[in-house]
Amino acid sequence: MGCESIQTLLSGTELSASGICERLAKQFNLYPHQPISEKHTSEYNFIYSDKKNIIELQVTECINKKPQLSCRFSLCQPSSIDMKFTEFVKSIAKYLVLKIRILESCQVKGEDDVFCPPEYFGFEEILKEIIQVKRKFWIADFGEETAVISCQEAIKRFVLPKCKRIT
């Protein structure tokens, strides 16, 4: 997670990582995705795309913990992604009986393991507010141009060109 994305973490199932992947594949229109970083054998990466939005998913097998599912999107996408992302995360959480945590730098210290059910009162409003704040920072740093692209593509297209080359 960085300046380019909004990310949630879902956890709490008795399913294995491969079990989560199988259930997701049956219910949602996902396709495999290979991130730039080196793939670890305990990670499974997918993309959800409906031509208007791209959401990235990563299922991670955690040592001595239950598997976790991360969902994120790039902030350069049109604001139509905001509601789609919220609905998508909630539908996955309900389908797999998972709890949700919004991963953000503004999170209260000491609350690293706080997850809420998808029905948690105020979840949508909290996520909406965080998205709006992060998008304002994104626009201030990288402009108002929108693009329906993945987080790694957003880094290549918007972030890296702004970085100064160190020689």
Contact 69, 49 (CB under 8 A): no
pLDDT value, residue 76: 97
Read off the pLDDT of residues 93-120 as tens digits, 9 standing for 90 and up: 999 998 888 887 544 555 555 677 677 7
Average pLDDT over residues 20-38: 84
The DSSP 8-state label assigned to residue 50 in this structure reads -
Q: Which of 45, 53, 92, 91 is nearest to 74 (CA)?
A: 53
Q: Residue 121 has what pLDDT?
A: 77
Answering whether pTM is above 0.75, one says yes
Higher model confidence: residue 53 or residue 104?
A: 53
Please give the average per-residue pLDDT across 121-144, as a whole number: 92
Confidence of residue 2 (pLDDT cuts 50, 70, 90): low
Question: Cα–Cα–Cα angle for 95, 58, 74, nearest 5°?
Answer: 100
> Which pLDDT value is given to residue 41?
61
What are the CB-based long-range contacts (under 8 Å, 24+) for 29-38?
30/57, 33/150, 35/152, 36/152
pLDDT digits 0-9 by tens, 61-90 = 877 778 999 999 999 999 999 999 999 999
Contact 89/68 with Cβ under 8 angstroms?
A: no
**CA angle in degrees (0–180, nearest 5) for 90-31-115:** 25
CA–CA dist 61, 123 (Å, integer): 26
Which residue ranges make up each domain of the chain? 5-162
- As a whole number of angstroms, the distance between CA 156 and CA 16 comes to 33
CATH number of 5-162: 3.30.310
Mean pLDDT for all residues in the chain: 86
